[in-house]
Amino acid sequence: MRTSIATVCLSGTLEEKMHAAAAAGFDGIEVFEQDLVVSPSSPERIRDLAAELGLGLDLYQPFRDAEGVGPELVPAVLRRAAAKFRLMNRLGTDTVLVCSNVATATVDDDAVAARQLRALGDLAGEHGVRLAYEALAWGRYVDDFEHAQRIVELADHPSVGTCLDSFHILSRGWDPAPIERIPAEKIFFVQLADAPLLSMDVLSWSRHHRVFPGEGDFDMVGFMTRLVRSGYDGPVSLEIFNDAFRQADVRRTAVDGLRSLRWLEDQTLRALAGQPVRDRLELQALPAVAEPAGYDFVEIRTARLGETTRLLHQLGFALGGHHQSKEHVQVWVQGPVRVVVVDAVREAVPGASPTEIAALGFTVEDPEAAVDRATRLRARPVERTQGPGEQVLRGVHAPDGTEIFFCRASPDGVPPWLGEFGADDVLDPAALVTGVDHVNMAQPWQHYDEAVLFYTSVLALEAQPAQDVPGPSGLVRSQVMRSADGAVRMPLNVAPAAAEQGSFVGAAYPEHVALACSDVVAAARRARRRGLAPLPVPQNYYEDLVARFDLDEAFVASLQELDLLYDRDTGGEFLHFYTGTLGTVFFEVVERRGGYAGFGAPNAPVRLAAQYRRSHEPGARQRSPRGAASPQ
Residue closer to a copy of itself, measured from CB, 104 or 434: 104
Q: Rounded CA gap, 560 and 496, in Å?
A: 31
In the complex, least distance from residue 16 CB atom to a copy of itself, rounded to whole angstroms: 8
Binding site for a copy of itself (CB under 8 A): 8, 11-13, 16, 33-34, 36-43, 76, 79-80, 83-84, 87, 198-201, 204, 207, 243-244, 246-249, 445-446, 468, 470, 472-475, 496-501, 505, 536, 538-541, 543-544, 546-548, 550, 605-606, 608-610, 612-613, 616
Residue closer to a copy of itself, measured from CB, 13 or 391: 13
In the complex, least distance from residue 348 CB atom to a copy of itself, rounded to whole angstroms: 28
296 neighbors 567 (Cβ within 8 angstroms): no
Residue closer to a copy of itself, measured from CB, 381 or 470: 470
Q: Rounded CA gap, 70 and 81, in Å?
A: 17
- Beta-strand ranges (E) seen in 520-601 are 565-568, 572-578, 585-594
Q: Rounded CA gap, 605 and 409, in Å?
A: 37
- Residue 307 marked as a ligand binder: no
Give every CB contact of residue 588 below 8 A, 6+ residues apart in sequence.
Answer: 437, 512, 513, 514, 515, 576, 577, 578, 579
In the complex, least distance from residue 549 CB atom to a copy of itself, rounded to whole angstroms: 10
Long-range contacts of 306-311 (CB under 8 A, 24+ apart): 307/355, 307/582, 308/341, 308/355, 308/582, 309/341, 310/531, 311/532, 311/579, 311/582, 311/587
Residue closer to a copy of itself, measured from CB, 130 or 209: 209
In the complex, least distance from residue 35 CB atom to a copy of itself, rounded to whole angstroms: 8
In the complex, least distance from residue 569 CB atom to a copy of itself, rounded to whole angstroms: 14
- Residue 500 marked as a ligand binder: no
- Residue 322 marked as a ligand binder: no
Residue closer to a copy of itself, measured from CB, 544 or 552: 544
In the complex, least distance from residue 496 CB atom to a copy of itself, rounded to whole angstroms: 4
Residue closer to a copy of itself, measured from CB, 363 or 611: 611
Determine phi and psi for 409, rounding to 5 degrees.
Answer: -70, 150
Nearest to 492 by CA among 396, 575, 400, 371: 400
Pairing of strands 160-165, 187-192: parallel
Residue closer to a copy of itself, measured from CB, 382 or 609: 609
Find the largest Cα–Cα distance for the chain: 88
In the complex, least distance from residue 158 CB atom to a copy of itself, rounded to whole angstroms: 25
Pairing of strands 130-134, 160-165: parallel
447 neighbors 494 (Cβ within 8 angstroms): no
User: Binding site for Mg(2+): what residues are annotated?
Assistant: 438, 512, 588
User: Binding site: what residues are annotated?
Assistant: 134, 165, 191, 239, 438, 512, 588
User: Binding site for a divalent metal cation: what residues are annotated?
Assistant: 134, 165, 191, 239
